[in-house]
A and B are shown apart, each in its own frame.
Chain A
Amino acid sequence: MTLVIVTVMPKKGVLDPQGQAVQRALSHMGFGEVSGVRVGKRIELQIDGHDPTGQATRMCEDLLANQLIEDFHVEVPE
């Protein structure tokens, strides 16, 4: 089993209303220094067999990310 971590983020340039709402809340709480807040997802996968990175990439392309609006990153932690 290999642990693969997939990160899915809204594409740069695509409006991220969730990130904006979180940023506004942070700023109301007094964290005035924060900007550029974006909210995405982290998906952990346990993958059997060879080429877990390739398998995870195909899963992203086929389901886990909608590439019209999202970018993904696949990582196998050391």
Chain B
Amino acid sequence: MSATRVAVLRFPGTLDHESAATAVRAVGGDPVFTHHTDTALPEGTQAVVIPGGFSYGDHLRPGALASRTPIMVAVKAHAAEGGKVLGICNGFQILCESGMLPGVLRPNASLAFICRQADLEVADADTPWTGGRRTGEVLSVPFKHHDGAWFGDPSDTRVVLRYTGENPNGSIDKIAGISNLAGNVMGLMPHPEEACDPLLGSVDGRALFAALLA
């Protein structure tokens, strides 16, 4: 059986596609880079990753311009059929701007770019994204962002991951990651692709990539 094909999207200004592809390979998937001007996902795509970066230079609002590109029409159709989509950092912002996830990511309350390892608490263990971890278990995953404060109504979504300790960025309810109500679309500001190798100090991010292949 061939490896599960995972489309890894690339927009102008995407930065973390190589790390995302490495993480997909680490869990046994077959990553295929997919360009923002494409009107269809690669043949046989079973899941989509929207990696981090600064698509379109964050002009207008982070994720706003990327969310209106041709490939996102195909990603929406993929999700509407139940296909899995994982948006990381700028990818999370793109999912919110596209309406595939509720809410919006606002500038950090401190207006500072924050880059550090974080402990994330599993807030809802009943989505596919946390790989059998129980509610309350903690994942060690880094984050690096300027616009990471999720703003919206938490009752419109499933809160999957929360920051522990002090709220780092002003996110409502300390939200770090959410999924849609159906559970097949997941967005988070922290970077699980940077927590997939023991060399990086944590492999807790693998659960999110493994979920793409499940």
Residues of A within 8 A of B (CB): 14-15, 17-18, 21, 63-64, 66, 68-69
Given contacts A15-B170, A63-B68, are A69 and B151 in contact (CB under 8 A)? yes
The answer to whether B110 and A66 have CB atoms under 8 Å apart is no
Q: In the bound complex, how far is the Cα of B106 from the Cα of A17, in angstroms?
A: 10
Q: Are A68 and B110 in contact (CB under 8 A)?
A: no
Question: What chain B residues lie within 8 Å of A17 (beta carbons)?
Answer: 107-111, 170
What's the least CB distance linking A72 to chain B, in Å? 12
- Assuming A63-B60, A63-B68, is B104 touching A15 (CB within 8 A)? no
- 17 residue pairs bridging A and B, Cβ less than 8 Å apart: A14-B106, A15-B109, A15-B170, A17-B107, A17-B109, A17-B110, A18-B111, A63-B60, A63-B64, A63-B68, A66-B61, A66-B64, A68-B104, A68-B151, A68-B152, A69-B104, A69-B106
B36 CB to nearest A CB, Å: 16
Task: Given A15-B170, A17-B109, answer yes or no on A68-B68 (Cβ-Cβ < 8 Å).
Answer: no
CB pair B60–A64 under 8 Å, yes or no, is: yes
List residues of chain B with CB within 8 A of the CB of A21: 111
Residues from chain A with Cβ under 8 Å of B111 in the complex = 17-18, 21
Q: How far is the CA of A15 from the CA of B108 in the complex (A)?
A: 11
Q: Would you call B107 and A68 a contact (CB within 8 A)?
A: no
Closest to B65 in A: A63
Distance of A15 Cα from B170 Cα, bound (Å): 10
Q: A14: nearest residue on chain B (CB-CB)?
A: B151
**With A14-B151, A15-B170 known to touch, is A66 a contact of B97 (CB < 8 Å)?**
yes
B28 within 8 A of partner (CB): no
Report the Cα distance A68→B110, complex, angstroms. 21
Top 7 A-B residue pairs of the complex, sorted by shortest distance between their CB atoms: A17-B111, A68-B104, A66-B104, A17-B107, A21-B111, A17-B109, A69-B104
